Amino acid sequence: MKNFNSAKQLCSYFGLCPRIYESGTSVRGKAKICKMGMSTVRKMLYVCALSAKKHNRACRELYDRLVQHGKSKKLALIAVANKLLKQAFAIIKNKSVYVDNFLQQKFAY
């Protein structure tokens, strides 16, 4: 984690960032993950995303919202894996423990 300045860099390193395939203005491909990173870590994050969509409230809400808006279930799981990686990055960088309602507690008056 010391080598990364942001969660975006970490997600890109593991190949979880979406990549748009285009050729000029006429050919537009579907956005897919780039798959240039470590495939074993990507596979583990995918399995973790399956569990997180059931047990992590923020991940469940993200998954349900994407599926409700017509996205495929696999795409929603990749988004959950991306969110898990970002959560892990924030916890490690801040040297803190996971707090479920972090934003609500932070801005509560």
In a domain, 1, yes or no: no
Percent of the chain with pLDDT over 70: 80
The alpha helices in the chain, defined as continuous H runs, are 7-14, 39-55, 57-68, 73-94, 102-106
Whether residue 30 contacts residue 59, with contact meaning beta carbons closer than 8 Å, is answered with: no
Q: Is-above-0.85 flag for pTM?
A: no
Residue 38 counted as domain residue: yes
Q: How many domains does the chain have?
A: 1
Phi, psi at 91, each rounded to 5°: -65, -45
Quick: pLDDT tens for 38-88. Answer: 888 888 999 999 999 998 888 999 999 999 999 888 889 989 999 999 888
Instruction: Identify which of 37, 39, 19, 38 has the alpha carbon closest to the alpha carbon of residue 29.
Output: 19
User: Cα–Cα distance between 5 and 56 in angstroms, integer?
Assistant: 26
pLDDT band at 104 (very low <50, low <70, confident <90, very high): low
In a domain, 46, yes or no: yes
Summarised one tens digit per residue, pLDDT across range 11-22 is: 888 888 777 766
Asked whether residue 84 is domain-assigned, the answer is yes
Write out the residue range of the structural domain in which residue 100 sits. 7-106
First-last CA distance in the chain: 33
Q: Say if 2 falls within a structural domain.
A: no
81 closest CA partner among 106, 44, 27, 54: 44
pLDDT level of residue 103 (50, 70, 90 thresholds): low
